[in-house]
Structure formats: structure tokens, C-alpha cells
Amino acid sequence: MFVSIILLWLCIWFIILQLKSWRPKNFPPGPPPLPILGNILHLSLENPLKDFERLRKTYGNVYSLFLGQRPAVVLCGTKAMKEALVNKATDFAGRPQDMFVNETTQRKGVILADYGPSWREHRRFALMTLRNFGLGKNSMEDRIYGELQYIINTLEKSIGKTMSPQNMFHNAASNIICQVLFGRRYEYDDKFIKVIVQCFTENAKLANGPWAMLYDSFPLIRNLPLPFTKAFKNAETCQNLAIHLVNEHKKTKVPGEPRDFVDCYLDELDKRVDDGSSFSEKQLIMYALDLHFAGTDTTSNTLLTGFLYLTAYPHIQERCQQEIDKVLEGKHRASFDDRHNMPYMQAVIHEVQRVANTVPLSVFHLTTKDTELMGYSIPKGMLIIPNLTSVLNEEGQWKFPHEFNPENFLNDQGEFVKPEAFMPFSAGTRVCLGEGLARMELFLIMVTLLRKFKFIWPEDAGEPDFTPVYGVTLTPKPYSMKVQLREMR
């Protein structure tokens, strides 16, 4: 018995030494890890954002923790974030390839792809193709306005009534990116859009939820029939839908006359036969789903956040409408260039993005080489967690860091200004591919709807609840609003 106890303590001591050896000299500080569990008990599995902030206050803006036995470095604050993602962008440009989100996407696509030739090829292709299909041009405005008519029709049917905007905004954002990717839109009750939006929504919650954290921290549980298996079924469902669309394109496309992103990729595939390229149909499937998810979830949740706050703060909504009426007087519709004459509207949209904090932990990075950050030594292959929440709410960077206030983006002369801490799309080499499209969508949709409608918080709905639901993207809790028609000016 005595020998057994001694052996047990020796095993525990050995495990502790193993874990401690992961914090080499000059490595960022952090809470002491437990054997096997690491720091998993320091984090709420449901929503760890407050725990990340609590640890920042104890250990500073660059600290380490263990997800199970895996070490990670958490970046907080504008200074650390810019040094890592902008000044040393290449050093921090990797992506982990052995986590839950990678498994569900089969390590394909562009968002989660590791840093290297394949990623660079595909990112260049995406930027060029999106530009060719009108990003920043009138043709993209036309696509957005085409979808806006369906939003307006939905709202006109709700005049004088209370309605829930969740599905409307999710479906609209999905359709705009669908037109770019697949050259078509779907009615809001179409099975395709219902299924794919539902799968995206569920997987966004699963991917940053407790089961994904356990999946990443404890590899031994990966083959067990636990709730995270739902994400793999959802991913398979989406892949089958995308395969069907790609097969349709292959039958109907005319070489050299691309109608959309998928046609462009298929044309590129034809050019690269047997050249050892990373382009493939399997890549195309996940690539399209990557872009569809990124272009749907973030934009729709930002719109939902925006109209939640605009209904809760009617004086801000009214001031937006006064500026819109003045700038657009006599014009049929707004153009994206009109933003330069709408400093207050610009400030409101950016403040919505700041408080929406749609992707609070960005997408995890990985160091591509041994490097240094804020005086600490960070080894190659280290998991990096950019805590964007700490930047968007950082004391000293914002006039009102903990409240919704457009003055955060206005100077003393009432001019629009954008502080360097504003990075909801992340920053550097891995900055969001769809930032330009998202900015155009938010401006044109919000301006057009505020010009035509007044949005009111229902009297019987109680106080607005601004607490978001945690996931890969933060989502406002479901809410309803009343819609009234305004007199167009």
C-alpha cells in the first residue's frame, strides 16, 4: 500500500514537471496549470470572455494558459495586438491544424488554412475575384439593393406590427454572398437557405462552446458520441449542398465567361491541370462554404445588434434619420460614397461594430517561427488567441469604452474619426477577406432602412437585453421590434 502511494505521488510529480517544462525561460506568465486539465477550470466553458479579462488583469496583456496539456498565448490590448498581427504579421500568420474547427472543415478552405503557398494562392485568387465581381463598385451596390427590396417587402408587411428580424437579416446576408459565390438568390422560405443558415448558426455556437473546448483540450474524447458530433453532421450537410451547386455549374458554365465565383474557380482549375497546384474541387467546396459562412454570420449579427440598439436608443436613431434625410434629399437611393457626407451615421455603424464584437476571439493564430512579443519569447508552433474584446473595450482607447455611444468615433468638431483600436475584422496578414463587402452592406442596408422606416422597441417587451449569446460569433438574444413607415424626403 505504501509503495502504491509513493508511486502515485511520483506520477503526479512527474506530470507537474512535464507541464512546468512547457513554460520555458522568458515565456509569458499565467495561472499554474493542473495535471492533465491544464487551466480548463480557470475558464467558463459556456463563455470564457470574462475569465480572459480577469486573467489579463492579473498577468498582463500577454499571458499564457493551458487548454488541457496544450499551451496557448493570449494577446490583449491594442499595443500587443498590433505588434503581433501587424508589425510581426508573418511570425503570427499560422493557423492551428489540429482543432475542432479544422476537423469540421477537413483542413480545407482559406480562413483556417495554414500559412503557406496554398493559402497565399487562394487568398490572392479570392481578393482578385471579389474585386472583379464588383467589390467597391456599382455592380456590388446593385446586388445589395436587389436584396434590399426583399427586406423592404418583408418590413412593409409588418407595418404597425411587431416582428422578429433574426431570419430576415440572416437570409438577406446569405443571399448577398450567394449571388457573388453561386450567381443566385433564394426565397426566404427556400429549403436551401433554411438548412444552410441553421447549420452555420449551430456550428458557430458549437465551435466556441464548451464541447469544442473539451474536444481541443482532451483528444481522448474525440471518438465519443458527444454533442460536438452534431457539427460534423452539419458540415457534411453543407458540403453536399455545395457539391450539388458546383455540379450544376460544371454542366452550365461557358469557359471564359464566368458568372460568379464558382465559375471563376472552375476556369482556374481548367488552366491548372497537372501543374501541381493546390486548386481542386474539394478545395472549392470548402472555400465557397468558408466565404459563405464568413459573409453571412458576421454581417447578419452586426445588423441585428445595430437595430437592437437603434430601437433601444430612439434619440440616436432620430439623429441618424435627420442626417440621412439631409444628405439624400432628392436622391433615389444612397451610394456607398455618401458615407463621406454622413459622419454621424458612420460613427453609429462603427460603434455598432465595436459593441457587437462579433468575433470576440478572432480566429486562433499559430506562430510560424520562434519570435518575441512585448519582451517575451514565443516559440514556433505556439497557439495564439487574439482577444479582440480587450481591444474594442480598452480603457484609454475609447471615450466611452463600456457603453454604446457614437461619440467614440467623433472628434470635437463632429467629424468621423476611426481610432487605431478599431479592429473588428482583425488586422494584418489575416485580416478578414470580406471586410470591404461587409462595410458596404452595413452602410447601404442601415441607411436605406432608416430612411424608409422607424423602428420602435415594443412597450410590452420589457427592458432590452444587450447580453449576447456566446459562440464563434456573438449573437444578440432574439428580440422583436415594431415597424412604422416614415415619409420619404
Of the pLDDT bands very low, low, confident and very high (cuts 50, 70, 90), residue 3 is: very low
Does residue 373 carry a pLDDT above 90? yes
Q: State the pLDDT confidence band at 137, using cuts at 50, 70 and 90.
A: low
List all residues 6 or more positions away from 470 whose beta carbon is below 8 Å from its beta carbon. 46, 47, 49, 205, 208, 209, 360
Q: What is the mean pLDDT of residues 467-480?
A: 86
- Residues of the chain with pLDDT > 90: what percent? 49
User: Does pTM surpass 0.75?
Assistant: yes
Total Cβ atoms within 10 A of residue 50: 11
The grid coordinates listed for 363 are 480566429
The phi, psi pair for 277, rounded to 5°, reads -70, 155
The reported pLDDT for the residue numbered 2 is 46
Q: What is the CATH number of domain 97-310+329-343+458-485?
A: 1.10.630.10
Q: How far apart are CA 25 and CA 468, in angstroms?
A: 39
In which residue are the cell numbers 494577446 written? Answer: 75
pLDDT for res 281 = 87
Q: Which of 31-45, 181-195, 349-363, 428-442 has the highest mean pLDDT?
A: 349-363
d(CA 338, CA 371): 44
Average pLDDT value over all residues in the chain: 87
Mean pLDDT, rounded, for 310-327: 97
What confidence score (pLDDT) does residue 106 get?
67
- Close Cβ partners of 175 (under 8 Å, ≥ 6 residues apart): 147, 150, 185, 186, 193
399 vs 408: CA distance, rounded Å: 5
pLDDT at position 447 is 98
**pLDDT tens digit string along 159-214?**
989 999 998 999 899 899 998 889 888 888 888 878 887 887 787 777 766 777 77
C-alpha cell recorded at residue 376: 517575451
C-alpha grid cell, residue 33: 496549470
- Dist CA 266 CA 258 (whole Å): 9
More confident residue, 221 or 485: 485
Residues 6 or more apart whose CB falls under 8 angstroms from that of 381 comprise 94, 366, 367
pLDDT at 135 over 70: no
User: Of 30-44, 121-135, 142-156, 174-188, where does the model show the most confidence?
Assistant: 142-156
pLDDT for 301 equals 92
Question: Per the structure block, which three cell numbers stand in for 307?
Answer: 437595430
The predicted model gives 31-51 an average pLDDT of: 87
Please check the confidence at residue 50 and state whether its pLDDT lies above 50.
yes
Look at residue 424 and tell me whether its pLDDT is greater than 80.
yes
Q: Which three cell numbers stand for residue 369?
A: 517561427
Q: Higher confidence at residue 372 or residue 47? A: 372
Residues 392 and 382 sit within 8 Å (Cβ to Cβ): no
The reply, when asked if residue 432 is annotated as ligand binding, is: yes
311 and 368 Cβ atoms separated by less than 8 Å: no
Spatial distance between the Cα atoms of 183 and 260, rounded to a whole number of angstroms: 5
pLDDT on residue 89: 92
Per-residue pLDDT, averaged over 231-238, amounts to 87
Our CA angle for 456, 462, 465, nearest 5°, is 85
pLDDT number for residue 390: 95
Q: What pLDDT does 5 receive?
A: 54
Q: Which residues pair with 163 in a beta bridge?
A: 481
Total Cβ atoms within 10 A of residue 114: 15
449 vs 205, residue with greater confidence: 449
Q: What pLDDT, on the 0 to 100 scale, is given for residue 426?
A: 87
Give CA–CA dist 129/126, Å, rounded: 5
> For residue 410, which phi and psi values (nearest 5 degrees)?
-125, 140
Torsion of CA 388, 100, 20, 10, to 10 degrees: 150
